Chains A and B, each alone.
Chain A
Amino acid sequence: MTSRSSIKHRLLELRAYVLTYAANTMFRRGMKKHNDANAAQTPKTD
């Protein structure tokens, strides 16, 4: 059985951490794009 605290596992943990950061950045960018698109759709009422 491989030790769960081996260098390989440490690297996988670090990768998971970085991927989470990247995903959150991607989600925020996606939301900005989405909000901008909706703002362009909203009819001007005044």
Chain B
Amino acid sequence: MGASKETKYSVCTVCDIGCQLRTEAVEGKVSRVIAHDNPALAGNICYKGTAVPLIHNHPDRITKPLKRVGERGEDRWEEISYEQAMDEIAQKLAAITDKYGPESLAVSTSGWNTQTTHSLDRRFMNLLGSPNWISGVALCAGNTAAVNKLTYGWFPMPDYGNTNCIVLFGHNPRKHSWTPIYNAIRAARARGAKVIVLDPRVSDQAEHADIHLRLKAGTDAAMCLGWLKVIFDEGLYDKDFVARWCIGFDELKQRVDEYPLERVAEITGVAAQDIAAAARVYANADGAVIPWTPITDQQLSSTSAIRLHSILRAVTGNLDVVGGETLGGFSESYIPESELALHERLPMAQKQKQLGYDDHPAFTYRVAEMLKEPTEKVWGYPYADIVMGCHMANPTNVFRAMAGDGPYPVKAFFCLGNNALLSYANQHQIHRAMMNQELIVTHEIFMTPTAMLADYILPGDVFTERNHVADSWSWTTRLTLSQKAVDAPEEASSTFQFWTDLAHRMGFGDEFPWKTLEEMLDYRLSRGGRTFADFENATYMELEPPVFRKYRKKGFATPSGKVELASSILADMGFDPVPYYRELPDRPEDYPYLIFTGVREDPFFQTGQRNIESLRRRTPAPKLFLHPADAEKEGLAEGDWAKLSTPKGSVLAQVAVRETMKEGHVRVPHGWWYPETRGQAELGGAFISSDAVLCSDDDEWLDHEQGVPHFKGFPGKLEKASQPEHVTRTQPEDWKLDAAVEAHAGQ
């Protein structure tokens, strides 16, 4: 074959936003990733996208199955064949589930990274009998989807193209992070839409906002109650919609009246008149959106705050209308993962064993079963897996069980495309849990701290090495083509292949009839009478025509068929049916700062890409942002190393002094480890700077209904420290430059 240069359309999975880009390959290697040739899509590329050839062709890619030969975590391996690895994994898993029961298998995964699982993980687990599936989406988007369903039975999508007002609760899309949303906000602003930002920092979005409320971290629920107070008192709500389509208004109003603006001002630190002004702009916008935000997902009152976003949409008449937030439903031409997962095959007795089912049920099978009938009536399927984030176990409950703290043993842990050790709260507990396992399997493209703790590592493929049709995990009805450009190296393969091959070895082969990803895509597209080849020949993207106010035909997918301002499901489970704000536990005097974690940096997605030279060059070391007054108080200057401690643990990071920070707040970036220290620091430096070390998941720091930990505003203290041992490459010039990345980053 000659050196021809074919171009393919690919859905990038370096982060979770899913830009469609173009991939060029020469002689079996990805040579360049460039922007789309459609002008409407060409702006959707960041410098992480241009770095894809460096990631996919990286010499450290794991390309053969590895089996542990030393002690767990010792990072000593032997290469074995794929067949041997799968045979041994199947035998060991069978022995563990025979001994402890099927629920002793837990799986942690990130669909963003693996992309082509097609819910075969859930299918396998449901047939085996394990309900214990967890994911980072429990803390980010997936939990929002589940909580939105409590109010109106679906997770809406903002209509950026027609909206007149965008409300960003701490969310900060930038040119090189969540680029399509950044572009959509820019376009909306250019045609006159107002932007309201609620963020303790002067973020990039806040700099350009029409209104910026610098609320105290973690007080979103109180702020929303304040907005509703203004909206109800001044009659700014859609009375007709509320009367015809909502239940529980009186109960909600009674709760809202408990939050006069003076009280909200005291809780949030924002002046009452500013709260009122923002609420009026939102309610009077004639088409306004509150896009999903990870910030509200990760707070002590998260369920209430997410519900309050939902309630604001509904009472202001912005639900399922043009310029508001639309309830998409399932694609009519692509079989959804909700169907492929076979949730109905998991017996009720096993569903009830799901960890978190009793304590924190909001995104577990407990709620799924209560929503089954209305969901089938309105959306055509009994289970709606949106953004994968429904019917999940609670991560904290899973790690406690893995560590031996009950209620039953969890002894096998599979991590696919997921660096679980650094991805949830309380890293020391996760480590203890993993050290107590009899079998750990990971499926990865690079060695990670989590993979270092495994018994087996299967080499994963990447998006340029496989075909796919992306449907945003049922969040939208848009179908986007992703074409294979090159073959996966050596024995690297997809998670689709992993689950299929394991199922055949465990006796479920008949339920996994698809031999290739293309066969699976043919099956899913058969709902619209097409094959993958048909789709690939016809288009690179397909949108379903918008239908507004769909609820007029079948109502909402809630038990009452209405928007439940007071949630019947929460009431039935013994929780407060109307939203509230919960005060933080008392802050110890010696922990004077409010820490907020989980913050993304442009060069990286979650815990990834620290080994990519040209990306690391842009942020060589983690940065703690703090206000100049706080820096002075602590005797810290720009570039110093500081130790940040909470009652759970300590991390080291470099100080970045910023006027844009709110005094008393410290911002900590997410997911830091140091791949270059492998063989020197413990687990690749996983305990040096990772924000998961700091976060508590003790009961008092968990949201009641979902059990998500409070990441936005927990107590911490600072002191000056030395540069950590083994971490030596802390300057940009210590990392190699790549012209394509630099050129795009500079645009």
Contact = CB atoms under 8 A, between A and B. Distances in A.
Interface in A10-46: 12-13, 16-17, 19-21, 23-24, 26-28, 30-31, 34-35, 37-38, 41-43, 45
B254 interface: no
Contacts of A1: 236-238, 283-284, 286, 316-317
Do most interface residues of chain A lie in helix, strand or loop, or is the interface mixed? helix
A38 B537 contact: no
Contacts of A16: 159, 161-162, 322, 546
A12 B323 contact: yes
A9 B162 CA distance: 10
Interface string B308-331: 000000001100011110000000
B322 A12 contact: yes
B542 interface: yes
Interface stretch (B5-13, B420-428, B502-510, B696-704): B5-13
Contact of A20 (B1, B9, B240, B543): B543
Chain B interface mostly? loop
Given A17-B545, A20-B543, A43 B238 contact: no
Given A23-B40, A30-B37, A41 B543 contact: no
Nearest to B323: A12
B541 A27 contact: yes
Interface residues of A, number: 27
Contact of A30 (B316, B322, B324, B540): B540
Nearest to B480: A27
B238 A24 contact: no
Contact of B540 (A2, A31, A41, A42): A31
A2 B139 CA distance: 36
A16 B548 CA distance: 10
B7 A24 contact: no
A41 B6 CA distance: 7
A43 B2 CA distance: 7
Nearest to A8: B286
B161 A34 contact: no
A35 B537 contact: yes
A24 B546 CA distance: 13
A5 B162 CA distance: 15
A34 B541 CA distance: 13
Nearest to B159: A16
B532 to A, nearest CB: 14
Interface string B227-242: 0000000001110110
Interface in B1-55: 1-2, 4-7, 9, 37-38, 40
B539 A4 contact: no
B7 A9 contact: no
Contacts of A12: 162, 322-323
A41 B236 contact: no
B35 to A, nearest CB: 13
B743 interface: no
Interface in B127-184: 159, 161-162
A35 B37 CA distance: 13
B538 interface: yes
A41 B5 contact: yes
Given A1-B284, A12-B323, A13-B546, A38 B7 contact: yes
A21 B545 CA distance: 7
Interface of B: 1-2, 4-7, 9, 37-38, 40, 159, 161-162, 236-238, 240-241, 283-284, 286, 316-317, 321-324, 481, 537-546, 548
Given A28-B539, A38-B7, 7 more contacts: A1-B284, A4-B321, A9-B323, A16-B322, A23-B543, A24-B543, A27-B539
**4 residue pairs, one from A and one from B, having the closest CB atoms:** A12-B322, A2-B286, A27-B541, A28-B539
